[in-house]
Amino acid sequence: MATNMRGLTQFIADIRGARVRDLEEKRINKEMANIRKKFKDGNLDGYQKKKYVAKVLYTYILGYKVDVGHMEAVNLISSPKYSEKQIGYLAVTLLMHENSDFLRLVVNSIRKDLDENNEINNCLALHAIANVGGTEMAEALCEDVHRLLISPTSQSMVKKKAALTLLRLYRKHPNVIPAAEWALRIVAIMDDADLGVVLCVTTLVMALAQDHLEPYAVCYQKAVDRLYRLVVEHEYSATYAYYKVPSPWLQVKLLRLLQYYPPSDDPAIRMTLHQVLETIMNNSAEQSRNMQHNNAQRAVLFEAIGLAIHLDTNSPLVSTAAVLLARFISSKETNVRYLGLDTLAHLAARADSLEAIKMHQAHVILSLRDRDISVRRRALDLLYSMCDVDNSEVIVGELLQYLKVADYALREELVLKIAVLTEKYASSYRWYVDTILELISAAGDHVGDEVWYRVVQIITNTKTCKHMPPGLSSNGSSYVLGEYGHLIANEEGHSPIEQLQVLHTKSQFCTAPTRSLLLTTYIKWVNVFPEIKPQLINIFERYRHVLDSELQQRACEFYALASRDPPFPPRESALLSRLNKKHGATEDKRTWVHGGRDVNQDREATKAKRSLTVDKSTNGSIPSAGVSDVLSSLQGLDLSGPSNVTSPTSMASTVLSKPTIAPHVVVGANVDRWFEKLTYSNEGVLYEDVQIQVGIKSRYQGHIGQLAVYMGNKVSAPLTSFTTKVDVDDPEALSITFAKMPATTVAPRSQSQQILHVECKKVFTTPPIMTISFLAGSHQTIALRLPVVLTKFIEPVILGPLDFFERWRIIGGPPREAQSVFPINLTSGGELDRDKQQHVISGQKFSILPDVDPSTNNFVGAGVLHTSIDGKVGCLLRLEPNRDAKLCRITVRSTSEDVVGEVKKLIQKPLSADAAS
Amino acid sequence: MIHSVIIFNTSGIPRLIKFYTPINQSAQAIVTKIYSLISIRSSGSCNFLEAPELDELLGPKYDIEKLRVVYRSYATLHFVFVVDSSESELGILDLIQVFVEALDRAFENVCELDLVFHFDEVHHILAEIIQGGLVLETNLDEIDSAVHQTASARKQSFAAANPLALGVGGVGPRSAGLQTPLGWLTGKLTGVGTR
């Protein structure tokens, strides 16, 4: 601390005393020379090193370049004294950057501080990594950082820093972090009681989830749950209220995180989220006198509107938001006008219909003349986004008018936008050309090369350009313009060769940039006018020897091109790509860009493709799963995932990344027995271990069912971050939804209940997988098959013998029959286990028809399967057990081929000798 | 993400410079540029400024992502945050307020001179709010307690090594809280312990 270093205080006071900058520099140079000498002589103790490094730092903060003290900073880091260590770390974070060679020297000291059982040293080390960590540190330290994040003994302060540090390492070196594998463990921390920890972990999850949507999908429900608790239930520690708003930063982060996912299908989650958004919008109605309060409130509001737009642009929430926004753009507060325009642009970029926004068109145009340039910029962006076929002439006209008075800082972008809009919404060729010419004459130097090239490209490529206005070249505001006019008027008595001559004689007087444009025109002519190709090649040949290197290079390239005769490049716009430049790989991505809806949709498509390639690269670190794993992992494919791209590569990558997402189903004799029993009974235990018991009660009627899942905590500590999710193999066939958002904690020795709604839409064969995860010291995950099987949706029917046999005959043999013979066990008395057989058959919802089969040992049953999409399917059953052979024959006939095999399997399984029970 | 935090006074002299991403130019050039953009703006202006002029000054990746300057002025100081679009503008404005309130708690009525003589402490406080360009903590109590924890660790280690040093480790009012050297300086110069 400066207090304890009088030399430093004196130095600071001296610099402050310097009247002019020259004197200040002199004083600093003197000090730096002195320090350099001291460092060179060596033999300094810790205190002296600390003092000199502090002086170097102060010099740095004044904006001077410093080149001493790095080595001393490295030494100070390993000092046993905190005061010296702290200055050392400060110097490292200020003076070094991720590619600094000195960093290699500090990795070991940092690791030592990370491993130490002293959280303030842990924090120093984490902070340093988070500021300067690069690839090398990521490789060396990522495990240590992760350990500090998940360790139950880590204090909140350490957890927060570890979360953000891990994020830094991920950004610098994504491959070193097994993001998918760590997903559930990291997401679980979002339930931490400390909102500071939640904020940091949410930031981390946000970055990881962008590249790994599916593995982190459970964060969606965590985020919604947390928002609900903050916004609706006001459940937070008072110190996290910022001017009475519960941690606005956390709310903003959560709302932003939700925008990275497609809207949830789960009705419970949707409803909760709707309630949250509605509350936020209602809260904004009450304005307070306190500026900080209003600020915080609006920070949340604007993000909430962003999310509402993302969820559904046609929802009533968005209509409410549009009204609010319209009020904002005429607010007295500049910040509010700015954000109002910005958010309207977001709406314009997403909405199906621009009507609601167009109502305020006049006001937006007026905002182009706001007194603040920041607001003017936003107005420009909004006009750009809200432009469509109907208003394009008005908007482009306004923008052209504005161009003449606009700030220089705005002009280049303005020109680009006008050019894009003109091209996109050109109603007639003539309007396009007129507008572009006006644009060029108004903007002069601000017309970038991209615009030039594009105009030439379009004009040359347009076939219907026989009669261009003759005044075109005289309209020409610039010299080059005339030449493009010639280009178009190719029929009017000017043969290509004559044009070339005219053009080329003028070119002698042109500047180099114009000449290069000319060359560009020529190369296009090579294709358009093959008859003058030899002359053109000749020109290129000559330009290959000019002095201007830029021209020379261009000529060489064109010469090569022309000699090879490649096809003319198709119409592709460099303008749009200039406006929407791509993002870095692991940066936070924008959730939308300026421009119409189509632009944003294109963007989503490329984004999806990109995220897939990212997935594949990270898969390299995951050990490849066996064939059976791959097969079983196909379950839950494209379940709320972003991967609607169904190219072969996307399939492959989803399959590969799947094993880490759906954890392996728990196996074991007991688990199988519990499951099997529940296939033919309505209640019972599904799973049990030393910590937890999971029980099921169920009811079914027709194609609808309701499942109550009871989670019992058997230990004397709460199970926190309790998360349940259900994956269905084929959501088209079976839907399962939670009735409401489940609680995140199960109190000690108590039970929590979750209700699931089930609907059978089509025939399905794979039971849904329920994944339970929770924190009990460590993080645990249990994946269980839910006893939701096809026969649950059968309703028994009573048939007389005649009816039965007639139907049996009509259905006929395979493929609408499934039959097999399987071994059975006898009771302890050596008899057939008729009770069990009866239990299984009626438990699987078949009626047992007593008078049909002449043999009393046999069972005959009938039932109707109910599905909501495929309708009803009749099923008939015959079971013929043989006591002496200890065998049984089962025959199932049904009008649907898909059903017979599955029903036979389900009934046979609990009856056969190798049954689990 | 927050790309840089800069504090300068109304004459453009930097009081704190912290870059979370590498920069192309000298820090001085960036400060000068931002100062020239901000100092001409009136007090009723928007606190957000989009600055294409800054793009070339900041690192090469900045042309990928449009950066915004979010700033707030207090007395003689401008607090400037350069952020990208993943941050909420108003959220950053609130964060600046938190930073200032945290400084105020640590220095009791913070003023520019505190930032001058305790530049290291200012960095330590900032480190408890922002880490690596991301918001770490926004709760003033938490920030304050973290700052105190490191301050006392520092004092202990210093006192252990310098048992005879004045003003630390011993008993009495001088060891309590954060003593500004300005008190010591002005006390010497004028005999009045005012700031």
Instruction: Return the CATH number at A799.
Output: 3.30.310.10
- The mean per-residue pLDDT over the stretch B24-28 comes to 81
Is A740 annotated to bind a ligand? Reply is: no
Contact B28, A76 (CB under 8 A): no
Residue A709: predicted pLDDT? 92
CA distance, residue A747 to nearest chain B CA (Å): 28
Of residues A565, A559, A495, A566, the one with CA closest to residue A531? A495
Degrees to nearest 5, angle at CA A336 with A330 and A338 = 85
Dist. CA A525–CA A529, nearest whole Å: 5
Q: Residue B162's CB: how many other CB atoms inside 10 A? A: 15
Last residue within a domain, chosen from A526, A546, A566: A566
* Rounded CA separation A169/A176 (Å): 8
Q: Does a structural domain hold residue A188?
A: no
Same domain, A723 and A807: no
**What single string gives the DSSP state of each residue in A319-367?**
HHHHHHHHHHTT-SSHHHHHHHHHHHHHHHHH-S--HHHHTTHHHHHHH
Query: What phi and psi, each to the nearest 5 degrees, are found at residue A122?
Result: -55, -45
* A26 labeled binding residue: no
Q: How far apart are CA B69 and CA B89, in angstroms?
A: 9
- Most A-contacting residue of B70, B135, B147, B186 (CB-CB within 10 A), to test interface: B135
Neighbours of A869 (CB within 10 A): 12
Q: Looking at the domain assignment, is residue A686 inside a domain?
A: yes
Place of tokens 């219907």: A464
d(CA A395, CA A175): 47
H/E stretch holding A864: strand A859-867
Q: Say if the Cβ atoms of A247 and B180 lie within 8 Å.
A: no
Structural domain boundaries enclosing B57? 2-138
- Which residues on adjacent β-strands are paired with residue A878? A860, A891
Is residue A453 assigned to a domain?
Answer: no
- Residue A914 Cα distances to A666, A767, A790, angstroms: 19, 20, 21
CA distance A823 to A887: 4
CA distance B85 to chain A (A): 7
Question: Which residue in chain B has the smallest CA separation from A133?
Answer: B132
The answer as to whether A280 is a domain residue is no
- For the stretch A149-158, pLDDT in tens is 998 889 999 9
Q: Which residues of A are less than 8 Å from B18 in CB distance? A: 94
Q: In this structure, is residue A670 part of a structural domain?
A: yes
Q: Would strands B130-131 and B134-135 be described as parallel, antiparallel, or unpaired? A: antiparallel
Distance from CA of A772 to the nearest CA of B (A): 30
Same domain, A683 and A743: yes
In A, minimum Cα distance to B90 occurs at A299
Size of interface A-B (CB pairs under 8 A): 222
Question: What is each CA distance from B30 to A176, B27, B141, in whole angstroms?
Answer: 34, 5, 33
CB–CB of B118 and A1 under 8 A? yes
Query: Do A545 and A664 share a domain, yes or no?
Result: no
In eight-state DSSP terms, residue A743 is: P
Go through A236-275 and write b for each residue having 16 or more CB atoms within 10 A of its CB, e for each that does not: beeebbbbebbbbbbbbbbbbbbbbbebbebebbbebbbe
What per-residue confidence (pLDDT) applies to B167?
45
CA-nearest residue to A3 within chain B is B181
Residue A468 located in a structural domain: yes
3-state secondary structure A274-288: HHHHHHHHHHCCCCC
- The Cα A703–Cα A162 span in angstroms is 49
- Using alpha carbons, select from A138, A134, A128, A64 the residue that is nearest to residue A99: A134
C-beta atoms surrounding A458 within 10 Å = 18
Mutate to test the interface with A, among B11, B81, B94, B114 (most CBs of A within 10 A): B94
Give the C-alpha separation, B43 to A415, whole Å.
31
Looking at chain A, which residue has its C-alpha nearest residue B93? Answer: A295
Q: Smallest CA–CA separation between A704 and chain B, in Å?
A: 44
In a domain, B173, yes or no: no
Dig out the tokens for A894 from the structure. 């049904």
Assign residue B51 the CATH number of its domain: 3.30.450.60
- Phi first, then psi: give them for residue A210, nearest 5 degrees: -60, -35
Q: B132 vs A164: CB contact, 8 Å cut-off?
A: yes
φ, ψ of residue A833 to 5 degrees: the values are -85, 75
What's the CA gap between B81 and A324, in Å, rounded?
28
Which of B93, B119, B168 faces A58 most closely, judged by CB atoms? B119
Which residue of chain A has the CA closest to B118?
A2
Mutate: best of A280, A371, A374, partner B, most B CBs <10 A = A374
Tokens of B51: 């600055």
Which parts of A68-194 fold into alpha helices (H)?
70-77, 82-95, 103-115, 119-132, 135-150, 156-172, 183-188
Residue A607 and residue A739: Cα distance in Å, rounded?
33
Same domain? For A784 and A660 the reply is yes
One-letter amino acid of B34: I
The CATH number linked to A689 is 2.60.40.1230
Beta carbons of A191 and A155 less than 8 angstroms apart? no
Residue of A20, A65, A83 to mutate, testing the B interface (most B Cβ within 10 Å of its Cβ)? A83
DSSP string for residues in B130-176: EETTEE----HHHHHHHHHHHHHHHHHHHHHH-TT-TTSSSSSGGGS
Q: Is A138 annotated as a binding residue?
A: no
The pTM is what? 0.76
pLDDT at B162: 64
Residues B84-103 have pLDDT tens digits of 888 899 999 999 999 999 99
Residue-wise over A342-379: b if at least 16 C-beta within 10 A, else e? Answer: bbbbbbbbbbeebebbeebbeebbebbebebbbbbbbb
Between strands A794-796 and A859-867, the pairing is antiparallel
Residues A694, A723 within the same domain:
yes
Position B185 scores a pLDDT of: 40
Q: How many CB atoms lie within 10 A of CB A233?
A: 8
Q: Which two tokens stand for residue A603?
A: 């963007």
Task: Supply the pLDDT for residue A159.
Answer: 95
Distances (CA, A) of A879 to A402, A807, A810, A889, B163: 85, 17, 19, 6, 94
Q: What is the pLDDT of residues A655-670, one digit of tens each?
A: 333 334 455 788 778 8
Residue B102 confidence (pLDDT): 94
What pLDDT does A636 receive? Answer: 33
ipTM: 0.84
The helix or strand, by DSSP H or E, that contains position A844, with its residue range, turns out to be none
At residue A829's C-alpha, the angle toward residues A827 and A833, to 5°, is 30
N- to C-terminal Cα separation, chain A:
72
The average pLDDT across B3-23 equals: 90
Closest residue, chain A, to B47 (C-alpha): A335
Query: Does the beta-carbon distance from B46 to A58 stay under 8 Å?
Result: no
What token pair was written down for A666?
């728990």
Please check if A7 is assigned to a binding site.
Answer: yes
Taking CA atoms, A315 is separated from A231, A310, A351, A352, in Å, by: 20, 10, 11, 12
Residue B12 lies in a domain: yes
**Phi, psi for residue A468 in degrees, rounded to 5:** -85, 150
Q: For residue A905, is it within any domain? A: yes
Q: How much is the pLDDT for A2?
A: 43
Boundary-marking domain end, from A566, A600, A618? A566
Query: What pLDDT does residue A1 have?
Result: 44
Provide block-wise average pLDDT over 10 residues at a time, chain A (917 residues): 71 86 90 92 87 92 86 91 92 87 89 91 93 90 93 91 94 90 92 94 94 92 94 91 92 95 90 95 84 91 94 91 90 91 90 86 90 88 88 88 82 83 80 81 72 68 44 34 44 58 62 69 70 79 78 79 53 56 56 71 60 41 38 35 38 38 71 89 90 92 91 89 87 87 86 90 90 85 91 89 86 86 86 85 88 83 90 89 88 88 89 73
Residue B173 banded pLDDT, cuts 50, 70, 90: very low
From B20, B142, B178, residue closest to A196, measured CB to CB: B142
- Quote the DSSP letter at residue A481: H
What beta strand segments (E) does A689-744 contain? Answer: 692-701, 704-713, 720-727, 734-738
Whose tokens are 């460099």? That residue is A574
CA B15-B100-B78 angle, 5° bins = 45
Q: What is the 3-state secondary structure (H, E, C) of A495-553?
A: CHHHHHHHHHHHHCCCCHHHHHHHHHHHHHHHHHCHHHHHHHHHHHHHHCCCCCHHHHH
Q: What pLDDT sits at residue A662? A: 52
Q: State how many domains chain A has.
A: 3
A506 is in an annotated binding site: no
B117 belongs to a structural domain? yes
> Would you call B46 and A337 a contact, using CB atoms and an 8 Å cutoff?
yes
Q: Does any domain span residue A211?
A: no
Domain enclosing residue A825, as ranges: 792-916
Domain count of the fold of chain B: 1
How far CA A781 is from CA of A186, A755, A774, A797, in Å, comes to: 13, 20, 7, 41
Residues ≥6 apart with Cβ < 8 Å to A285: none
Output the pLDDT for position B180. 44
Q: Which of A539, A566, A593 is the last residue of a domain?
A: A566
Position B186 pLDDT exceeds 60: no
B112 within domain boundaries:
yes
Lowest mean pLDDT among A479-483, A743-747, B69-73, B156-160: A479-483
